[in-house]
C-alpha cells in the first residue's frame, strides 16, 4: 500500500497559534533537497521571512527558491483604497502560485502565510480551495498560517495544528537569532 502510493502528492497544512509553522515548511525543504527535489516557496504576507531563512535557502539554491508575491499586508489598513491595492496584489499572487503549481518545474510548492491572506480577506477562500483541488497529482503543496479555513482542513491530507504551550515571549524574552529570525 505504502509502495503503491509512493508518488502521491500531499496537501499539507500547518496552522495554529503556536510557533513552528514556517519552520516546519522550511524543514521539508531541507529534507527534500536531500533527494534533489525542486522546491518553490511563495510568501503571501510581507515581512515574515527573516534573514536566517533567506540566507539559509541561498545555500540550497540549486533546489529551493523563495519569492514574495503580492504586496502582502502592511499593517492595519483602514483605508479602503489601500486595502483594494493589497487585495489586487494578493490575487495576482495567487495567480502566480497557480502558474508555479502547474509549471511542472517543482516537486514541492510552499504557500507561506496563505491562510493569513485568506483570513484578512485579501485572497478568496474558494479560489484557494479550487487551486488545491486541481493541483497536479504528484505535487506536494504546503500551506501555512494561523486560522486555516475548515474547508481547507477538510480537503488536506495532512494537517498539524501548532498549539502554544509555552513561548519565551510570555516571559518577555525577545526573538532569538537563528531561532526566530
Ligand atoms: P516560525 O516562523 O518561527 O516557525 P510561525 O510560522 O509558526 O513561526 P507566524 O505566525 O508566522 O508563526 O509568526 C511570525 C513570527 O512570530 C515568528 O518570528 C515567530 O517567532 C513569532 N511567533 C510565532 N508563534 C508565536 C507565539 N505563540 N508567541 C510569540 N511569538 C510567536
Ligand atoms: Mg509563519
**Which CATH number fits the domain 12-167, given the four candidates 3.40.50.360, 3.20.80.10, 3.40.50.300, 3.20.20.80?**
3.40.50.300
Q: Which residues surround ligand 2, an ion (CB under 5 A)?
A: 21-22
Look at residue 57 and give its three-state secondary structure: helix
Residues 51-62 have pLDDT tens digits of: 899 999 999 999
| The pLDDT of residue 124 | 95
Cα dihedral 30, 31, 37, 42 in deg (nearest 10)? -50
Residues 17-31 have pLDDT tens digits of: 999 999 999 999 999
> Could you tell me the sign of the dihedral formed by the alpha carbons of 73, 177, 39, 14, in that order?
negative
> Could you tell me the sign of the dihedral formed by the alpha carbons of 71, 116, 180, 75, in that order?
positive
Going from the Cα of 63 to the center of ligand 2, the distance in angstroms, rounded, reads 21
State the CB neighbour count (10 A cutoff) for residue 27.
11
Q: What is the value of pTM for the model shown?
A: 0.92
Ligand 1 atom 22 nearest Cα? 19
Judged against a pLDDT cut of 70, whether residue 88 lies above it is answered with yes
Report DSSP state, residue 169. G
Domain boundaries, the chain: 12-167
> Could you tell me the sign of the dihedral formed by the alpha carbons of 155, 17, 160, 40, in that order?
positive
Amino acid at each position: 500500500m505504502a509502495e503503491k502510493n509512493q508518488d502521491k502528492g500531499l496537501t499539507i497544512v500547518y496552522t495554529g497559534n503556536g510557533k513552528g509553522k514556517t519552520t516546519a515548511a522550511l524543514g521539508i525543504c531541507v529534507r527534500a533537497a536531500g533527494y534533489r527535489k525542486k522546491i518553490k516557496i511563495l510568501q503571501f504576507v510581507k515581512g515574515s521571512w527573516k534573514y536566517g531563512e533567506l540566507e539559509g535557502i541561498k545555500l540550497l539554491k540549486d533546489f529551493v527558491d523563495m519569492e514574495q508575491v503580492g504586496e502582502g499586508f502592511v499593517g492595519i489598513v483602514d483605508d479602503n483604497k489601500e486595502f483594494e491595492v493589497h487585495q489586487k496584489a494578493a490575487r495576482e499572487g495567487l495567480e502566480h502560485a497557480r502558474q508555479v503549481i502547474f509549471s511542472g518545474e517543482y516537486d514541492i510548492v510552499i504557500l507561506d502565510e496563505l491562510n493569513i491572506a485568506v483570513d484578512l480577506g485579501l485572497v478568496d477562500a474558494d479560489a484557494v480551495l479550487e487551486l488545491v483541488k486541481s493541483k497536479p497529482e504528484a505535487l506536494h503543496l504546503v500551506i501555512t498560517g494561523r486560522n486555516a479555513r475548515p474547508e481547507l482542513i477538510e480537503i488536506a491530507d495532512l494537517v498539524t495544528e501548532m498549539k502554544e504551550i509555552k513561548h519565551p515571549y510570555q516571559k518577555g524574552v525577545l526573538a532569538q537569532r537563528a531561532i526566530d529570525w
